[in-house]
Amino acid sequence: MTANVKFGLKGKARDSYLELVLAFPLASIKSDEHLDEAEDVMDRLLAKDRLDQGEEMYLDALSDLVAAFEDEHHAIEPASDADMLRHFMEVNGVSQVQLHRDTGIAKSTISEVLAGKKAFSRQMIRKLADYFKVDVSVLAGNL
């Protein structure tokens, strides 16, 4: 059975794709050992100066398989509001007092967030996002 597809590969790109599939078949990742092998293949491809269309298509598919396995078996919890605020303050060299002066956020609120006793409010997220020049979604992960 052959299917009509619009994204098919021809020539050298098809050959490189099939060569990669034969060397390391595209299949759901089932173990950490399988994950390690998939990451090695990805690393080798990423180390190349240029990838042809077949190599890019293979790398995209393998990356999706790796991401699906990692999401299920090695999920990373979002950083706490305290960790996020502490990080942005350190990276930008900002003290609690300076943050209070520049944003109008109460010193006690900043201290409570840094101590893990208080979460970001929507208003605080907007002020911090503007202040640190990041998208609000970066700070809103725990809402």
Q: SS3 string of 39-88?
A: HHHHHHHHCCCCCCHHHHHHHHHHHHHHHHHHHHHCCCCCCCHHHHHHHH
**Pair (105, 121) in one structural domain:** yes
66 and 109 share a domain? Answer: no
- End position of a domain, from candidates 73, 103, 122: 73
Q: Based on the fold, state whether residues 17 and 63 are members of the same structural domain.
A: yes
Q: Which of 56, 73, 90 is the last residue of a domain?
A: 73
Contact 52, 16 (CB under 8 A): yes
Q: What is the CATH number of the domain that holds 91?
A: 1.10.260.40
Mean pLDDT of 105-112: 96
Backbone angles phi and psi of 105, in degrees to 5: -75, 135
> Phi/psi at 72 (nearest 5 deg)?
-80, -40
The pLDDT tens digits of the residues spanning 23-66 come to 999 999 999 999 999 999 999 999 999 999 999 999 999 999 99
d(CA 122, CA 126): 6
Structural domain count, the chain: 2
Residues of the domain holding 108:
81-139
Residue 68 confidence (pLDDT) above 80: yes
- SS3 (DSSP) at 128: helix
Q: What is the pLDDT of residue 141?
A: 76
Domain identity same for 34 and 63:
yes
Q: How far apart are CA 31 and CA 69, in angstroms?
A: 8
Whether residues 56 and 24 fall in one domain: yes
Q: Looking at the structure, do residues 52 and 106 belong to the same domain, yes or no?
A: no
2 domain residue, yes or no: no
Q: Do 107 and 53 share a domain, yes or no?
A: no
Residues 21, 18: Cα–Cα separation, whole Å: 5
Q: What pTM, to 2 d.p., does this model score?
A: 0.57
5 domain residue, yes or no: no
